[in-house]
Amino acid sequence: MSEPHLLPLLDAPPPERRDAARNRERLLGAAKELVERDGAHAVTMDAVATAAGVGKGTLFRRFESREGLMAAVLNHSESEWQAQVMSGPPPLGPGAEPWDRLLVFGRTRLETTLLHAELIREAGRSGARASGAYSFAATHVRYLLSQLRVSGDIPLLAVAILAPLELPILEQVSLDGFPVDRFYDGWVDLARRVVGRSA
Amino acid sequence: MSEPHLLPLLDAPPPERRDAARNRERLLGAAKELVERDGAHAVTMDAVATAAGVGKGTLFRRFESREGLMAAVLNHSESEWQAQVMSGPPPLGPGAEPWDRLLVFGRTRLETTLLHAELIREAGRSGARASGAYSFAATHVRYLLSQLRVSGDIPLLAVAILAPLELPILEQVSLDGFPVDRFYDGWVDLARRVVGRSA
DNA sequence: TGGCAAAACGGACCACGGTCCGCTTTTCTT
DNA sequence: AAGAAAAGCGGACCGTGGTCCGTTTTGCCA
């Protein structure tokens, strides 16, 4: 009947057991390797579990679903870009004019999305959700827009600016046969109109 | 060694055999019914085939995949809206000012997308592709933009205007907890900026 | 009308995502 | 150090999407 000695501050998330952590790492490593070798679409859950020397049940307990696993891999791949944005050199990182940062942001985001296209596709809904990719970008754009003293509903304008850079949109568009360069120019034009720059 | 008597004009698509046509109709009907009754996510291919009194192989031959089937159902559902846009009463249909048409277009498109959300989701890539939903909307917006004498790369601006109304974007946004009404207002603001209206 | 090639049919079959539950490992307590 | 509860493990098992191929139907021509 003894009371717990330490009250959890802010109900802390329960820590991970040692074997669990080890297996998560093995699984993620195996997944990354297989994705790189065979392409995300060809990676089966059985294969990942086997390659990691772990049971399938474990794989699913750690990553919820195939999409979840892909999202985890994706997240890892995008984290470098996120770091560049947050603390890399200008003009992508801090230190440059907001407008210049926005332009570079758009270009690199477009490139990153295309680079990870397959992974994003395989990650499905989790791609945007579980991996913080989308909300990171949204937050950053909102920040830049506020720096630019844009008038209006900034969160929504951020959505509008980001939307054409999302994979589902890019896929629809490229079905219509747009080259990527032209697409980027178009995006710059859009950004100009939205933030209200004339030239 | 006789020559064919009739040359096909513009290599015509081969017509469908009677049984094939009959089965396609049965299948589509069964699918619509099941989707309505149980929700798209709960509809299995076996169930559709059985309900239509047809083998599974036939179902797949006619509709390619589950996504293809869902796209077909979706297409049917959207055709009414498309008809309204093309030849219904103003301001959605022809006869009103382009700007007013654009506004109503946006609102009804948003509503339609949300109404068919589940079907769109289940239709996956085919949702945009096979069902002409996306390209219809794009074409129409391009038309309205040209009527509005908008300067710039009209096809790309059309993409930019349409993008925030696509389901994947709406889903990401509503995760961030936006009410729909506010979202529509935001879209109108976006449209204003893109076409260059001050008020 | 009979016959034949092409098209379509259908259900047995397969692969893969996901679940379940009896067993093992970890961790905490005394 | 021992013991027990919690957390984790793993692989047999299941449902569903998708394929394959021997059989049937259709449409055409004689």
Whether A197 and chain B come into contact, CB under 8 Å, resolves to no
Q: What is the pTM of this model?
A: 0.90
Chain mean position to CA A86: 14
pLDDT of residue B3: 36
Question: What φ, ψ does residue A96 adopt, rounded to 5°?
Answer: -100, 175
For chain A, positions 109-138, list CB contacts with chain B under 8 A. Answer: 125, 128-129, 134-135, 138
The nucleotide closest to A44 (CA, C1' atoms): C16
CA–CA separation, A80 and B150 (whole Å): 39
State the fold for domain A16-63. Arc Repressor Mutant, subunit A (1.10.10)
Per the prediction, chain B carries an average pLDDT of 90
CA distances B50 to B11, B45, B165, B176, Å, are 35, 9, 36, 41
Q: How far is the CA of A68 from the C1' of D4 (A)?
A: 34
Helix (H, G, I), strand (E, B) or coil at A196: coil
State the fold for domain A65-195. Tetracycline Repressor; domain 2 (1.10.357)
The nucleotide closest to B43 (CA, C1' atoms): D16
Q: Give A160's contacts in chain B (Cβ within 8 Å).
A: 160, 163-164, 186-187, 190
CA–CA separation, A101 and B31 (whole Å): 50
Contact A159 B169 (CB under 8 A): yes
CA–CA separation, A34 and A8 (whole Å): 40
Distant-in-sequence, close-in-space partners of B139: CB < 8 Å, separation ≥ 6 = none
pLDDT at B92 over 70: yes
pLDDT at A151 over 50: yes
A8 touches strand D (CB under 7 A): no
The nucleotide closest to B56 (CA, C1' atoms): C10
Assess contact for A158 and A141: CB atoms under 8 A: yes
Q: Pseudo-torsion of CA B170, B172, B173, B179, nearest 10°?
A: 70
Q: Give B190's contacts in chain A (Cβ within 8 Å).
A: 156-157, 160, 194
Work out the minimum CA distance from B137 to partner chain A, whole angstroms: 12
Burial class (CB in 10 A: 0-12, 13-18, 19+), B10: exposed
- Sequence letter at residue A45: M
Assess contact for A197 and A161: CB atoms under 8 A: no
pLDDT at B184 over 80: yes
pLDDT of residue A24: 96
Distant-in-sequence, close-in-space partners of B105: CB < 8 Å, separation ≥ 6 = B85, B92, B140, B141, B144
pLDDT at A130 over 80: no
Rounded to an integer, the average pLDDT of A14-36 is 93
Give percent of chain B above pLDDT 70. 91
Work out the minimum CA distance from A90 to partner chain B, whole angstroms: 27
Per the prediction, chain A carries an average pLDDT of 90
Residue B122's pLDDT band, with cuts at 50, 70 and 90, is very high
CA–CA separation, B11 and A168 (whole Å): 33
> A91: cis peptide before it, omega within 30°?
yes
Chain mean position to CA A166: 10
Rounded to an integer, the average pLDDT of A1-7 is 39
Other beta carbons within 10 Å of B56: 12
Rg (CA), chain A: 20
Bridge partners (DSSP) of residue A94 are: A96
pLDDT 10s digits, A100-109: 999 999 999 9
pLDDT of residue B1: 37
The DSSP line for chain B is: -PPPSSPPTT-PPPPPPHHHHHHHHHHHHHHHHHHHHH-GGG--HHHHHHHHT--HHHHHHHHSSHHHHHHHHHHHHHHHHHHHHHHSSTTTSBTB-HHHHHHHHHHHHHHHHHHTHHHHHHHHHHHHTTSTHHHHHHHHHHHHHHHTT--S-HHHHHHHHHGGGSHHHHHHHHHT---HHHHHHHHHHHHHHHHT---
Residue B8's pLDDT band, with cuts at 50, 70 and 90, is very low
Contact B178 A155 (CB under 8 A): yes
Residue with tokens 């697409």: A183
Q: Where along chain B do its domains lie?
A: 16-63, 65-195
Whether B41 and chain A come into contact, CB under 8 Å, resolves to no
Top-confidence residue, B131 or A189: A189
For chain A, positions 166-185, list CB contacts with chain B under 8 A. Answer: 166, 168-169, 171-173, 175-176, 178, 182-183, 185
Work out the minimum CA distance from A61 to partner chain B, whole angstroms: 23
pLDDT at B22 over 70: yes
Bridge partners (DSSP) of residue B94 are: B96
Contact A196 B193 (CB under 8 A): yes
Contact B171 A125 (CB under 8 A): yes
Residue nearest to nucleotide C29 (CA to C1'): A2
pLDDT of residue A3: 38
Q: Which of B22, B36, B30, B29 is nearest to B48 (CA)?
A: B30
pLDDT of residue B46: 97
